[in-house]
Amino acid sequence: MTTNRITQLFNVKYPIIQGGMIWASGWRLASAVSNAGGLGVIGAGSMYPDVLQEHITKCKQATDKPFAVNVPMLYPNIEEIIQIIIKENIKIVFTSAGNPKTWTPLLKENGITVVHVVSSLKFALKAEAAGVDAVVAEGFEAGGHNGRDETTTFTLIPMVKEQLKIPLIAAGGIATGRGMLAAMVLGADAVQIGSRFVATPEASSHQNFKNAVVEAKEGDTKLTLKELAPVRLIKNKFFNDVEELYKKGPGIDELKALLGRARAKKGMFEGDLIEGELEIGQISGLIHEIKPAAVVINDIMEEFESVKKEMF
């Protein structure tokens, strides 16, 4: 595959970015993806500062290829996280869940390439105006926390492409070479893939959760808790408890009380498939086995090139 704006920006072989997912994206997964030619991303959203420091150190030992750190900007220890990133000379940072104006100038001053994750055209243009180097536009097929407008990837990407000048990365509902080709035909320079990389040996999430992803079928995930922060989950007992509470017309405090604390950790990291929050995308219905990250990337690229030759 010829180089494009994203492979040049990140200095990677393939325009495949591994999503920086909580409880799944530790140093093992990030280094495996980077070593296989993609861009591995450490997900700082579920890490205390000292844990992030450890993962960065180990990732540097495991790969000499570029890798990135994803930072949700609502993170309570954001200042400490940013200082670790600068101190460790991380070259690429993905920011999400917040205003890109807040940290982009400082990151750029320190020679860091900044990418911001958005779920709408409006926020894509705001990110561009804030000076980021690229944008991830994520459709609501994606797992985990999501956009309130429920705009699908196939709708969002061409709308953003029409007005955005900086490189565009598509996310949400992509796990195959065909999906990657479709996203790039619609105008993306690259794809960000999350759910497919959860079902790998290198993902730091619990084996029970990985098995649940593989077993999920079409229709087994749903967006919920929009009043708090929209999140796509596998349907389980916890999800059903949320649905039952909605029948009573609950207030914000009641929803927060049911959600409690560390619900995602319980499900995704500790493997509680009953009471845990199981965040994954709709594309889980197309994920049928757990296989190494390098094999995932190889399969995606082989299918991408094969289908491109057939169609073009």
Residue-wise pLDDT tens digits, 64-73? 999 999 999 8
- What pLDDT, on a 0 to 100 scale, did the predictor assign at position 308? 94
- What pLDDT, on a 0 to 100 scale, did the predictor assign at position 54? 98
**Phi, psi for 147 (deg, rounded to 5):** -75, 150
The type of residue at 10 is F
The confidence band for 2, taking pLDDT boundaries of 50, 70 and 90, is: low
Q: How many angstroms separate the CA atoms of 288 and 213, rounded? A: 8
- What pLDDT, on a 0 to 100 scale, did the predictor assign at position 1? 56
**Phi, psi for 17 (deg, rounded to 5):** -110, 130
Mean pLDDT of 54-81: 95
Q: Is pLDDT of 306 > 80?
A: yes
238, 309 in Cβ contact below 8 A?
no
Mean pLDDT of 106-131: 97
Tokens matching residue 131:
């000076």
Q: How many angstroms separate the CA atoms of 238 and 257, rounded? A: 13
- What pLDDT, on a 0 to 100 scale, did the predictor assign at position 74? 85
Instruction: Compute how many other C-beta atoms are within 10 angstroms of the C-beta atom of residue 272.
Output: 20
The burial class, CB within 10 Å (0-12 / 13-18 / 19+), for 165 is exposed
- What pLDDT, on a 0 to 100 scale, did the predictor assign at position 105? 97
Q: Is pLDDT of 47 > 60?
A: yes
Mean pLDDT of the chain: 96
- What pLDDT, on a 0 to 100 scale, did the predictor assign at position 156? 98
- 98/58: higher pLDDT: 58
Dihedral (C-alpha) 21, 25, 29, 35: value to the nearest 10 degrees? Answer: 70
The confidence band for 149, taking pLDDT boundaries of 50, 70 and 90, is: confident
Q: Give the ranges where the chain is alpha helix by DSSP (H).
A: 5-10, 27-35, 49-62, 78-87, 104-109, 121-129, 153-163, 177-185, 195-198, 207-215, 237-246, 252-259, 263-264, 293-311
224, 199 in Cβ contact below 8 A?
no
pLDDT tens-place string over residues 170-220: 999 999 999 999 999 999 999 999 999 999 999 999 999 999 999 999 999
Give the three-class secondary structure for 88: coil
The confidence band for 3, taking pLDDT boundaries of 50, 70 and 90, is: confident
The type of residue at 243 is E
- What pLDDT, on a 0 to 100 scale, did the predictor assign at position 209? 98
Q: How many angstroms separate the CA atoms of 58 and 289, rounded? A: 27
Predicted TM-score of the model (pTM): 0.96
Longest dimension (CA), the chain: 55
22, 143 in Cβ contact below 8 A?
no
Handedness of CA 220, 269, 38, 116 (dihedral sign): positive
Q: How many angstroms separate the CA atoms of 131 and 115, rounded? A: 10
Instruction: Compute how many other C-beta atoms are within 10 angstroms of the C-beta atom of residue 3.
Output: 11
Residues in the chain: 312
